[in-house]
Amino acid sequence: MPKYTEFKDIGVAFKKHPITNDLVTVKNDVDIKQAVKNLILTNKGERFFLPDLGSDLMTLLFEPMDFGTIGLIEDEIRRVLSVYEPRVEVQELRTEPNFEDNGYEVELTFKIVGRQDTVYDIEFFLERTR
């Protein structure tokens, strides 16, 4: 059986483990999914001392809902992941407008670099917050 690098991080829920009283951690694919989603949804300038970390997706959500904006959203997601998340390789990225809810349905399929085991999916909804 091949040896894989283990990934581990604190869960975003910040829940306390019932037995150890430490923060609950997430491992491997769950860790990477959490990191990918956090990177995509982080606005540039939001993290202290790292002004370029994150994406400009929130500004794109105020543009007209058309295929040009969809292309810009997908380009921005690919850029953020290629620069800040070297552990993933994007396999497929689909973005579709949802006119009724005034946002975009995003489905991201990726592989973990260095592993041949499986392909992972993340689905989320991008919408304006104000």
Question: Residue 77: in which H helix or E strand, if any?
Answer: helix 67-84
pTM of the model: 0.80
Q: Give me the architecture of the 29-127 domain, per CATH.
A: Roll (3.10)
Dihedral of the CA atoms 84, 39, 129, 98 (nearest 10)? 90
pLDDT tens across the length of the chain (130 residues):
455 666 655 665 556 666 776 655 655 667 788 888 889 999 988 888 988 998 989 889 999 999 999 999 999 999 999 999 888 899 999 999 999 999 999 999 999 887 777 888 999 999 987 6
Q: What's the CA gap between 130 and 54, in Å, rounded?
A: 19
Segments making up each domain of the chain, as ranges: 29-127
Upper half-sphere CA count for residue 13 (Cβ side, 13 Å): 9
Are 63 and 84 contacting, i.e. CB atoms less than 8 angstroms apart? no
